[in-house]
């Protein structure tokens, strides 16, 4: 069962308010710990991310939870991994990003109020938070934290290629229409099935032309594909 990081990342206490009173998609650390209880030991854990971010501390808690697993963690960025969601993404042993997805990294923010000392404490907290987030990126990529602090200061949006080039993602997802099979009996090869489907469509057109000879010819061609003689 995949672990879903959908919507806003928030703390355990506020999650019910957003979810039940405001009707918002949110994820909190307790959601992830509960979901992980059902994952067998040794089975890969798929983490699917579609989130614009949220609170840093719950994201850090989820990141640490996933990093502490003995299971192999595969992160799939399906549409968006912005802000705090990128912290969770860095927990993957492998990070995959859809060709239609984006990542965004920026500096943390707060609503600090009060006197000069209060504001200075808020500034110190934000600087420490930024360094911590940059260290998470650095741990994943092997690049210096300062490189990510500079990118965060500019609010950097990353295409799939940009994310892979930076090392924040390991690969861009590829979509293969050929099915994976598990059958006790031999099956016709996928490519041959597609050929036969094409011939069926051609046969439909020929039937409209009332061509009996051509129809019989198509039948023989289909049988040749089936027996691997094509």
Q: Give yes or no: residues 16 and 95 share one domain.
A: yes
Q: Give yes or no: residues 55 and 160 share one domain.
A: yes
Residue with tokens 């990353």: 158
Per-residue pLDDT band for 1 (boundaries 50, 70, 90) equals low
**Alpha carbon of 80 to those of 98, 99, 157, 161: distances in Å?**
9, 11, 11, 14
Residue 80 contacts residue 50 (beta carbons within 8 Å): yes
Q: Which of 30-34, 109-113, 135-139, 168-172 shows the lowest per-residue confidence on average (mean pLDDT)? A: 109-113
pLDDT attached to residue 42: 87
Mean pLDDT, the chain, integer:
89
Pairing of strands 94-97, 102-105: unpaired
Residue 177 contacts residue 215 (beta carbons within 8 Å): no
Q: CA 199 to CA 131: how far, in whole Å?
A: 61
Structure-token pair, residue 37: 């209880």
Q: Give yes or no: residues 193 and 109 share one domain.
A: no
| Mean of pLDDT values over 136-157 | 98
| Mean of pLDDT values over 51-61 | 97
Q: Which of 41-45, 91-95, 173-177, 225-229 shows the lowest per-residue confidence on average (mean pLDDT)? A: 225-229
Structure-token pair, residue 94: 């492998």
Residue 5 contacts residue 36 (beta carbons within 8 Å): no
Q: CA 129 to CA 89: how far, in whole Å?
A: 17
Percent pLDDT > 70 in the chain is: 89
pLDDT attached to residue 19: 95
More confident residue, 190 or 131: 131
Domain boundary among 131, 152, 172: 172
Q: Give yes or no: residues 88 and 182 share one domain.
A: no
3-class SS at 85?
helix
pLDDT attached to residue 146: 98
Residue 154 contacts residue 122 (beta carbons within 8 Å): no
Q: Give yes or no: residues 161 and 181 share one domain.
A: no
3-class SS at 187?
coil
Residues 6+ apart with CB under 8 A from 164: 97, 170, 171, 172
Q: Give yes or no: residues 197 and 216 share one domain.
A: yes
**CATH code assigned at 100:** 3.90.226.10
For the entire predicted model, the pTM comes to 0.76
- Residue 43, domain extent: 3-172
Q: Phi, psi (5° rounding) for residue 158? A: -120, 125
Per-residue pLDDT band for 230 (boundaries 50, 70, 90) equals low
Q: Give yes or no: residues 57 and 168 share one domain.
A: yes
Closest C-alpha to 101, from 147, 175, 161: 161
Q: Give yes or no: residues 48 and 147 share one domain.
A: yes
**Alpha carbon of 172 to those of 81, 162, 188: distances in Å?**
14, 11, 30
pLDDT attached to residue 203: 75
Closest C-alpha to 62, from 88, 25, 83: 88
pLDDT attached to residue 86: 98
Task: Specify burial of residue 14 (Cβ count, 10 A radius: 0-12, 13-18, 19+).
Answer: middle
Residue 89 contacts residue 168 (beta carbons within 8 Å): yes
């Amino acid at each position: 069962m995949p672990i879903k990081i959908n919507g806003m990342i928030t703390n355990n206490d506020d999650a019910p308010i957003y979810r039940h009173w405001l009707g918002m998609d949110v994820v909190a650390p307790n959601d992830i710990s509960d979901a992980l209880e059902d994952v067998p030991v040794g089975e890969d854990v798929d983490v699917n991310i579609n989130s614009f971010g949220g609170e840093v501390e719950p994201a850090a808690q989820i990141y640490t939870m996933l990093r502490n697993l003995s299971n192999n963690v595969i992160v799939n960025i399906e549409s968006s991994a912005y802000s705090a969601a990128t912290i969770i993404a860095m927990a993957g042993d492998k990070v995959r990003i859809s060709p239609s997805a984006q990542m965004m990294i920026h500096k943390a923010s707060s609503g600090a109020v009060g006197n000069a000392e209060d504001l200075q404490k808020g500034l110190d907290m934000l600087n420490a938070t930024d360094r911590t987030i940059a260290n998470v990126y650095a741990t994943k990529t092997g690049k210096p934290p300062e490189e990510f602090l500079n990118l965060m200061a500019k609010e950097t949006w990353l295409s799939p290629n940009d994310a892979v080039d930076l090392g924040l993602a390991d690969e861009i997802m590829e979509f293969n229409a050929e099915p994976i099979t598990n059958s006790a009996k031999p099956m016709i090869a996928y490519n041959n099935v597609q050929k036969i489907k094409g011939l069926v469509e051609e046969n439909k057109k020929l039937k409209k032309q009332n061509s009996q000879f051509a129809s019989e010819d198509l039948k023989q061609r289909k049988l040749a594909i089936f027996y691997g003689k094509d």
